[in-house]
Copies of this chain bind each other. A is one copy, B any other.
């Protein structure tokens, strides 16, 4: 990554930063190519929802296969594009993901960018969750190729813990595209006869009318923490996730879904089911463990850890290690508490 340009930079100008902030839904789509392994279960649902809202219909979203780690398979993308063209459809946007919701997978952006370049397709990268990793010199290789994207969605309110909501849409375009797409020149709101440069008024570019200046939180945080402070935050999250993984492996009642490459640590808690994978009702019994444990921790008020099924995998916990206030002691507590709450399961 040494020769790549940093995609993200803020020049200390809050107005410039505001120009970047936009809901993820402001994407123009006509026939969308999208990652996933089956009808929809592994895609972030915002792409289908966006296609529905834009009047294109969810059928205009084609699903591209992912490998067992949840990464888009570029060869299948190539295949889906050919199939779509053969059906007379006009593909124009590919949405790759940097940091999927459940497994935290990073798509191979260089290979995907090659496909997009070859077919002249807009490359959008949904880096809502994983985009903040660019701030870490150690881990930013996960996003190699993102500098070739036409647009990137990034939520500092996720990994950086900026206050909800703080969503950025970063565009390669320098022709004031958002203004040209969204501007409606309401003369009673966006006066042109002001004493300063009205190009600084970004209100006409965005989807909403009345909205908070969400970029200010990010700007203040960046100023307060500095680039190094934010990098430390990302690196610490990776380190603590690694600690959780190693501790999990030491305990008998836990089973990793896979070695994580990000801070999503996915695991089953299988106290009395260990070694019974062959039994016919294993999967059914396993799927009931997480909901019961979740109920117990919520009723007791000690923790809240999400769980979900995923493809053919039964319900598993997904511990996302992101809060900068988390410590190793918290991770130890988490594992001890799961054992306490689930000793009879």
- Measured CB to CB, the residues of A under 8 A from B are 23-25, 41, 44-46, 48-49, 52-56, 101-102, 155, 157-158, 164-165, 167, 182, 184, 186-189, 191, 193-195, 207-212, 287-288, 291, 294-295, 298, 307-310, 315
Contacts and interface: CB of A to CB of B under 8 A. Distances in A.
A45 B189 CA distance: 10
A144 to B, nearest CB: 26
12 contacts: A23-B208, A24-B209, A25-B53, A45-B189, A53-B53, A54-B55, A155-B210, A188-B308, A188-B309, A189-B308, A191-B307, A191-B308
A204 to B, nearest CB: 9
B209 A46 contact: yes
B46 A211 contact: no
A212 B214 CA distance: 12
Contact of A48 (B101, B184, B315): B184
Given A54-B55, A189-B101, A49 B309 contact: no
Given A54-B53, A184-B45, A309-B187, A212 B165 contact: yes
B207 A25 contact: yes
A291 B45 contact: no
Contacts of A309: 187-188
A87 to B, nearest CB: 21
Contacts of A310: 188
A288 B308 CA distance: 62
B49 A182 contact: yes
Contacts of A55: 54-56
Nearest to A204: B45
A268 to B, nearest CB: 15
Given A25-B207, A56-B55, A157-B210, A49 B193 contact: no
Contacts of A157: 210
A25 B193 CA distance: 29
A211 B164 contact: yes
B101 A207 contact: no
A187 B48 contact: no
Given A164-B212, A165-B208, A188-B309, 4 more contacts: A49-B184, A55-B56, A195-B291, A195-B298
Contacts of A44: 186, 209
Nearest to A163: B212
Nearest to A129: B210
Of A45, A189, A194, which is in contact with the most chain B CB atoms at under 10 Å from its CB? A45
Nearest to A181: B52
Contacts of A212: 164-165
